[in-house]
Structure formats: C-alpha cells, structure tokens
C-alpha cells in the first residue's frame, strides 16, 4: 500500500466518524465507544487521545479487539440498533490520564462490560484488570504444540505400537535414548 492509499483510507475513516459525530474535533480528550447488545448487555471501550478525531478514526483500521468489534458490529443506526455509539469530551493533555481513569470507572460502575485491558492512564502505576486472559505468545504456541504431539505419540504407542531398541542387547547409548523417549511421552509433567 502506498502513502496516497494510506492517507485516502485515513480521510475516509475520519469522514465516517464525522458522519456520526459532526462536532468531534482534533483537540485532546477522552472518547468512549459503547453499545447495548441483543441481550441487553452493555459494552464499552474508553480511550484517550491528544488528537481525538485522528485517534478515533484510526480504530477503524486496526485489528485489535475493539477495531475488530467495530468492523463486525458497525455503528448504531435505526437498522442496526445494537451497533456502536461514540461519545467524547475534550480535556487538556495534562488531565487525560485522570479523566480516562474516571470515565472507565464510571462506565464500569454503571454495569458496562469493558473492552479496556487496563484501568486507564499512560503513566506510572498503570494497572490491568484481573481475570483477563493474557495474550498467547510464540513460546506458548510451541509449548502447546509439544504437549499435543506428546499426547498423540503416547496414545499411538499405548494402543498400537511397541518401543524397543534396534540391537539386542541394547548399548548404553540406546538405553539412554529409549529412556529419553519414554520420558518424552510420559504425560506426568
């Protein structure tokens, strides 16, 4: 993608935001995406921005949890009553952390399920919410793959195969290799 396409997409996203919130500006402030789903459950995501319009529009191009939800559920309309709403309030840059934390707390207190992963703020002492699953990392995937392969191999040997060394009687090296293999397929750890 070239720069012309990137800036065109950015302008389109800003137009989409302006269509639902014509009075949004590019000053600093707090924004909240919120919706009520088909079951009456209230959801929200609160964020802070030094440039509100630019930041809110950028969510439309992202592939994180809130960006994907905005793509899937779209914005509120008469035809889409469970879509996302957008509210915002301007504040000075030095009040962003405090205002974001207060807004998150207010929405949580009012029964909203938060898409936020932390209690807000960019400064020291930023806290995550308990109960959120941590993201899967590359090493977690490797570990899970190893565990699955061990389970499969152990199952195959227990049902259909026998394990033995090539030479009888086995050499010391073959005995170590056999012991290593048996430890690998043991599902105790």
What is the pLDDT of the chain when averaged over all its residues? Answer: 87
Residue 100's closest CA among 43, 37, 35, 28?
28
Domains of the chain with CATH codes: 3-114 (3.40.1440.10), 138-185 (no CATH)
pLDDT given at position 109: 93
pLDDT given at position 152: 87
3-state helix, strand, coil in the chain (%, to 5): 50, 15, 40
pLDDT given at position 65: 85
Lowest-confidence region among 25-34, 128-137, 174-183: 128-137
Q: Say if residues 53 and 16 touch (Cβ distance below 8 Å).
A: no
Residue 28's closest CA among 56, 10, 58, 48?
48
Q: What is the pLDDT of residues 117-142, one digit of tens each?
A: 887 777 655 555 555 555 567 777 88
For 112, counting Cβ atoms within 10 Å of its Cβ (0-12 exposed, 13-18 middle, 19+ buried), the class is buried
Q: Which of 27-31, 60-64, 117-121 is most confident?
A: 27-31
Q: Distance between CA 42 and CA 166 in Å, rounded?
A: 65
Residues 1-21, mean pLDDT to the nearest whole number: 91
- Helix (H), strand (E) at residue 106: helix 96-109
| pTM of the predicted model as reported, rounded to 2 decimal places | 0.65
Q: Distance between CA 97 and CA 122 in Å, rounded?
A: 6
């Amino acid at each position: 993608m070239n720069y012309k396409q990137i800036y065109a997409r950015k302008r389109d996203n800003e137009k989409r935001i302006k269509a639902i919130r014509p009075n949004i500006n590019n000053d600093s402030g707090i924004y909240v995406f919120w919706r009520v789903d088909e079951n009456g459950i209230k959801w929200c995501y609160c964020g802070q921005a030094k440039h509100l319009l630019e930041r809110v529009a950028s969510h439309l191009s992202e592939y994180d949890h809130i960006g994907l939800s905005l793509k899937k559920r779209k914005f509120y309309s008469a035809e889409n009553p469970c879509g996302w709403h957008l509210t915002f309030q301007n504040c000075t840059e030095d009040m962003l952390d405090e205002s974001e934390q207060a807004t998150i707390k207010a929405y949580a207190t009012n029964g909203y399920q938060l898409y936020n992963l932390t209690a807000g703020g960019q400064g020291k002492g930023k806290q995550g919410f308990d109960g959120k699953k941590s993201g899967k990392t590359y090493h977690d995937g490797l570990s899970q793959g190893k565990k699955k392969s061990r389970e499969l191999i152990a199952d195959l040997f227990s049902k259909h195969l026998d394990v033995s060394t090539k030479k009888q009687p086995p050499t010391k090296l073959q005995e170590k290799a056999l012991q290593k293999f048996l430890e690998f397929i043991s599902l105790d750890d």
